[in-house]
Structure 1
Amino acid sequence: MFGELEMVKALLDERKRVVVLTGAGVSAESGVPTFRGQDGLWKSFHTQDLARPDAFESRPELVWEFYNWRRQLVAECEPNPAHHALVELERQIPNFLLITQNVDGLHAKAGSKKLMEMHGSLWQVRCTKCTHAREAREPLPDMPECPVCGHLLRPGVVWFGEPLVAGVLKVAIDQIGRSDVFISIGTSNQVQPAASFYQLAKDHGAVTVEINLEPTPNTGLMDFAVHGKAGEILPELTTGLRESLS
């Protein structure tokens, strides 16, 4: 791992445009459930069956109960060293973008500014009827209503079977296509379109890096792969940059 990490440090010293993609593995180190395996059940329901527009249409009260539980759980979690290291990386690299699949808001809480939450946020709500949308960190009623039109609010996240928010994918593709280094962190590389971002980066000449607890389907296709906890690897990476740039 040491040799790979040193080479990634050298790349970051030399390259000007860096795009980072993060997934559930980063938040798992803060205690946020990944909703896979044993974490994938809630009150005997498979969580992926609740994170769907048809589930919300048929049983909105159940879906909101689930999301209010998630919000309470995440509210007790704090950013970990990986989140803070990415804030430091943003500070050091002028042309930097962090794209996250996570909806917990921990990157923003840590201080990331150049951030794209491609799947939305647990802390956003939007109306099912009108265009009203807002941040809502306060506890919500069991069935929250829109203050503008009175219709039901929904979580401001992208559910399975839904397209990304308009323009988000276009910006992500554009920035990845311009990157010199693309780093995938804490993602299983199984959910599209993010699972194909590394290939887009390679097709445009970027060096690709994987940092993950264990190998993924994309590991053998990456230029560099460093396996272990993101909360241990990323601080080491940014410490090396601080030393080399001082």
Structure 2
Amino acid sequence: MTYEEKIRSLAEYLKKPGHNFAFTGAGVSTESGIPDFRSRGSGLWERVDPMKAASLSALRREPAQFYKFFMGVRESFAGAEPNAAHYALARLEEEKLLAGVITQNIDGLHRAAGSQKVWEVHGHMRSCRCLDCSKPYPFNVLLDQYRSGTNPPRCSQCGGMLRPDVVLFEDAMGEDFYKAYHALSGCQLLIVVGSSLQVYPAASLPELAKRLVIVNREPTPWDSRASLVINETMAGQVFTDLMAVLGLD
């Protein structure tokens, strides 16, 4: 099947009655200038051991080093804007062709693009909380302390250490994961965009879909079970072409 035929098939899948969802990973945001984590040859986790840099035990053991790494990752998001893929997914939801977006990303770009129903299964950087008393804070409280030289940032109520509301390695999954799992019950179509489908339990979500389409630069463990696999570097181009076929460009 040619690329053009795959795009037309995907458009036809989206038009069928039923609940359609998108499931996105880091590859959907690379065109926005945000580095990928697992791509061969360029992924962050090829250079850094995530258990030593981005785990709950790393935060507890060496909090200052954890925050030095985490804030470096956060700075890579600074100034990032949604790209064509983010905007297309938001438009598909607006047109009732998608029921929502489930994302592994913590960059907030789906919301910035206008998506209304977003399940951030690995958390986000809008808030933080105290590790000891669980008092919640806006993320800027943590950020302002770090920038003023307080590393690790501290809770004003009990003096405990603050942590970002992202799912670290060794963390339990957050509430959004279970909401997404429930939402996918009876899912007709799941479009996976820019995910290696290697990080569990999030990578188990495709098993809930009746039909699976994968848009990713590299092969995934789920390719053999997908109705369509579109291996393209630029997800934005795939969705630009899809929107044109749907008459939504």
How high is the TM-score relative to the length of structure 1?
0.88
**1:165-184 → structure 2 map (5 Å cutoff):** 165=174, 167-184=175-192
**1:32-47 → structure 2 map (5 Å cutoff):** 32-36=34-38, 37-40=41-44, 45-47=48-50
- CA shift at 1:48, angstroms? 4.4
Q: Is the 8 A contact 1:15 1:181 kept in 2?
A: no
Which residue, 148, 160, 165 being the options, matches 2:157?
148
Is it true that 1:239 corresponds to 2:244 in the alignment? yes
Letter in 2 for 1:13: K
2:193 counterpart residue number? 185
- CA shift at 1:183, angstroms? 0.9
Which residue, 222, 228, 235 being the options, matches 1:230?
235
Distance in 2 separating the partners of 1:169 and 1:152: 25
Worse-superposed segment, 30-39 or 106-115: 30-39
Is it true that 1:54 corresponds to 2:62 in the alignment? no
1:164 counterpart residue number? 173
**1:77-156 → structure 2 map (5 Å cutoff):** 77-93=80-96, 96-137=99-140, 139-140=143-144, 141=146, 142-156=151-165
List gaps (5 residues or longer) in structure 2.
none
Q: Is the 8 A contact 1:88 1:238 kept in 2?
A: no
Which residue, 5, 8, 12 being the options, matches 2:7?
5
CA offsets, 1:118-142, max 9 Å, x none?
Answer: 1001332111112322332474323
Aligned pair count reads: 238
Q: Is the 8 A contact 1:16 1:95 kept in 2?
A: no
In structure 2, the residue corresponding to 1:35 is in which secondary structure? Answer: coil
Letter in 2 for 1:146: C
2:76 counterpart residue number? 73
Q: CA RMSD in A?
A: 2.2
Q: Is the 8 A contact 1:74 1:104 kept in 2?
A: yes
Identity across aligned pairs (percent)? 33
Letter in 1 for 2:170: G
Distance in 2 separating the partners of 1:134 and 1:213: 37
Distance of aligned partners of 1:94 and 1:211 in 2 relative to their CA distance in 1, 3 Å threshold: closer
Q: Is the 8 A contact 1:67 1:155 kept in 2?
A: no
How high is the TM-score relative to the length of structure 2?
0.87
2:224 counterpart residue number? 220
Distance of aligned partners of 1:231 and 1:52 in 2 relative to their CA distance in 1, 3 Å threshold: same
Distance in 1 separating the partners of 2:245 and 2:9: 11
List gaps (5 residues or longer) in structure 1.
none
Q: Is the 8 A contact 1:18 1:93 kept in 2?
A: no
Distance of aligned partners of 1:136 and 1:11 in 2 relative to their CA distance in 1, 3 Å threshold: same
- CA shift at 1:153, angstroms? 0.5
Q: Is the 8 A contact 1:128 1:152 kept in 2?
A: yes
Distance in 1 separating the partners of 2:138 and 2:87: 23
CA offsets, 1:158-205, max 9 Å, x none?
Answer: 11121111x33332222212211111110001111222222221xxxx
Letter in 1 for 2:222: N
Distance in 2 separating the partners of 1:5 and 1:145: 50
- CA shift at 1:108, angstroms? 1.6
Distance of aligned partners of 1:94 and 1:2 in 2 relative to their CA distance in 1, 3 Å threshold: closer
Distance of aligned partners of 1:97 and 1:134 in 2 relative to their CA distance in 1, 3 Å threshold: farther
Letter in 1 for 2:247: R
